[in-house]
A = this chain, B = another copy of it.
Amino acid sequence: MPPHPLTTTPLHFGAFPITPQIFHLTPLSFALVNLKPLLPGHVLVCPRRVVPRLSQLSAAEVSDLFLAVQRVSRMIERVYAADALNVAIQDGVAAGQSVPHVHAHVIPRRSGDMDSRGGGDRVYEMLEGEEGDVGGALREVERTRRERESDGKSESEGDGKKRAFAKSDAERLPRSLEEMEEEARGLAMEMEKELD
């Protein structure tokens, strides 16, 4: 892969290095593609500074973050041919936050998109349930990566293991780094159209 088009600075979502997943970068915020999107196009927007609570952000950070949310929302709705979006922040552990770093979920929606999965309100339920546990999924991948490193396995050799793990969650697979990186590059190009 060529170097990341947006940054050479390592960026973190909580403790997780996620630079390859970034598709939009502003002075104080970034947007990343999701390891286990609840629906196609489900992305996250974060302040660069790693703090858990919305109340800890400066006024400049709040403005920058939500202008990024608005810009990302427009792009996601267009690219995923959606009619609407859910924007949701789990601000603290008791609200379902699984990574202690402010993040706005942006989820593109279409009428009836959740009918086969229990109706529209299920998207929220999944956000708070195990299916939306961004932290758990990231920890799983980080554990797999470390196991591979200690086993001396290459990235491609490890894929079989990850796919076997993924089979138990037929609807929503944790995606490979390559897949996320490819999506991030595509969305980064789409973001440029929003900045015209």
The contact of A128 among B55, B59, B89, B120, by CB within 8 Å, is B120
Cα A57 to Cα B97 in complex, Å, equals 27
Q: How many residues of A contact B (CB 8 A)?
A: 45
Chain A 64-100 residues near chain B, CB threshold 8 A: 65-67, 69-70, 73-74, 77, 82-97
Q: A55 to B82, Cβ gap below 8 A?
A: no
CB distance from A8 to the nearest CB of B (A): 28
Which residues of B are found within 8 Å of A125, using beta-carbon distances?
121-122, 124-125
Other-chain contact of A110, B66, B89, B94, B110 (Cβ < 8 Å): B94
Interface positions of A (Cβ within 8 A of B): 54-55, 57, 59, 62-63, 65-67, 69-70, 73-74, 77, 82-97, 107, 109-111, 113, 120-129
